[in-house]
């Protein structure tokens, strides 16, 4: 969801790839402008339903990485946010050893996420809270995972270099957040 106090305008949908062809059939990408700020809301594919879907995810994230580079060298501030369906580091998942062969925590997916950050994106929540376990943003609906805080951090707000100086704070609203969802809201404050 995209909300704005300064008004917003839609720039586009999709990521202009061979898979997507800008039609965005899955509704995965919404690029909006909020004054001078670009905001790209994104829902990366989940590969857990089988090898075919995992292959689709892997092609999609490579295409997205190439597409997202347009914001890296821009003087205009940009945020890349949403459910990226990858827990980047061991601190981002409650049981890393038990999930090494699970889509969303596969070694090559985590290396891809490092490449994404190395390309020039900044993980605002991790910058704000520093290293350490959690906070998680998603929990399975099974096994009392939310109650026991056995989650994954798969929701992110990433900033390009132009947006980084605007950053004030970030937090996950685990308690009192949207309990109707298996995700918790990730809130980022910017000095606009």
Write the CATH number for 133: 3.60.10.10
Catalytic residue positions?
43, 83
User: Over the Cα atoms of the chain, what is R_g?
Assistant: 16
The whole-angstrom distance between residue 127's C-alpha and the CA centroid of its chain comes to 15
Q: Record the pTM.
A: 0.92
Would residue 27 be called left, alpha or beta, if left means φ above 0 and alpha means ψ between -120 and 50 degrees? Answer: left
Per 3-state DSSP, the chain is made up of helix, strand and coil in percentages (nearest 5) of 25, 25, 50
pLDDT less than 50: residues of the chain? 20
**Residue 1 resides in a domain:** no
**Residue 2 resides in a domain:** no
Specify the DSSP element, H or E, that contains 98: none
Q: Which tens digit of pLDDT belongs to each residue from 142-181?
A: 888 888 999 999 999 999 999 999 999 999 988 765 566 8
Q: What is the residue range of 70's domain?
A: 9-190
pLDDT value for 7: 81
**Residue 37 resides in a domain:** yes
Relative to beta strand 78-83, strand 122-123 is unpaired
pLDDT value for 106: 97
pLDDT value for 141: 87
**Residue 3 resides in a domain:** no
- Total number of domains in the chain: 1
**Residue 127 resides in a domain:** yes
**Residue 96 resides in a domain:** yes
Question: Is the Cβ–Cβ distance between 118 and 78 less than 8 Å?
Answer: no
Specify the DSSP element, H or E, that contains 103: none
**Residue 150 resides in a domain:** yes
Question: Is the Cβ–Cβ distance between 46 and 83 less than 8 Å?
Answer: no
**Residue 148 resides in a domain:** yes
pLDDT value for 171: 95
| Adjacency order of strands within the sheet including 78-83 | 9-13, 29-34, 37-43, 78-83, 155-159, 122-123
Helices in 93-158 by DSSP H: which ranges? 107-118, 124-129
pLDDT value for 167: 97
Would residue 140 be called left, alpha or beta, if left means φ above 0 and alpha means ψ between -120 and 50 degrees? Answer: beta
């Amino acid at each position: 969801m995209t909300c704005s106090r300064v008004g917003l305008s839609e720039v586009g949908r999709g990521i202009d790839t061979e898979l997507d062809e800008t039609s965005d059939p899955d509704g995965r990408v919404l690029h909006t402008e909020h004054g001078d700020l670009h905001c790209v809301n994104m829902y990366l594919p989940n590969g857990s339903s089988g090898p075919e879907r995992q292959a689709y995810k892997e092609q999609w994230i490579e295409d997205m990485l190439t597409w997202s580079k347009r914001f890296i060298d821009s003087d205009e501030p940009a945020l890349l946010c949403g459910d990226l369906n990858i827990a980047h580091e061991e601190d981002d998942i409650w049981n890393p050893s038990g999930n090494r062969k699970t889509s969303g925590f596969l070694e090559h997916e985590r290396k891809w996420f490092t490449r994404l950050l190395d390309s020039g994106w900044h993980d605002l929540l991790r910058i704000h809270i520093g290293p350490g376990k959690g906070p998680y943003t998603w929990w399975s609906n099974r096994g009392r995972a939310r109650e026991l805080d056995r989650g994954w951090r798969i929701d992110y707000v990433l900033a390009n270099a132009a947006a980084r100086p605007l950053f004030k704070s970030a937090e996950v609203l685990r308690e009192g957040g949207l309990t109707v969802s298996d995700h918790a809201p990730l809130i980022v404050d910017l000095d606009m």
